[in-house]
Amino acid sequence: PAAGVEQPLRQVLPEFRFHLLPRCGHKPWLERHARAAFFRLLESDLPAA
């Protein structure tokens, strides 16, 4: 299932990055197994304001 999202987006978005979080569903910001990793990735990918 993840490849069905990753591959098409990678073809049309040159700077696309994909991170597959283990034990995670559709809402990583709410899931205890993925929450910390999600926010670390988000902070590292967003430019500092």
Instruction: Supply the mean pLDDT for the chain.
Output: 93
Q: How confident is the model over 36-46, as a mean pLDDT? A: 95
Provide the number of structural domains found in the chain. Answer: 1
pLDDT beyond 80 at 49: no
pLDDT over 90, % of the chain: 88
Q: What is the pLDDT of residue 48?
A: 76
Query: For the whole model, what pTM was predicted?
Result: 0.77
pLDDT beyond 70 at 23: yes
Q: What is the pLDDT of residue 19?
A: 95
In angstroms, how far is CA 17 from the centroid of its own chain?
7
Instruction: With beta carbons less than 8 A apart as the criterion, state whether 34 and 21 touch.
Output: yes
Q: Is 34 left (phi over 0), alpha (psi -120 to 50) or beta?
A: alpha
Domain that holds residue 16: 2-45
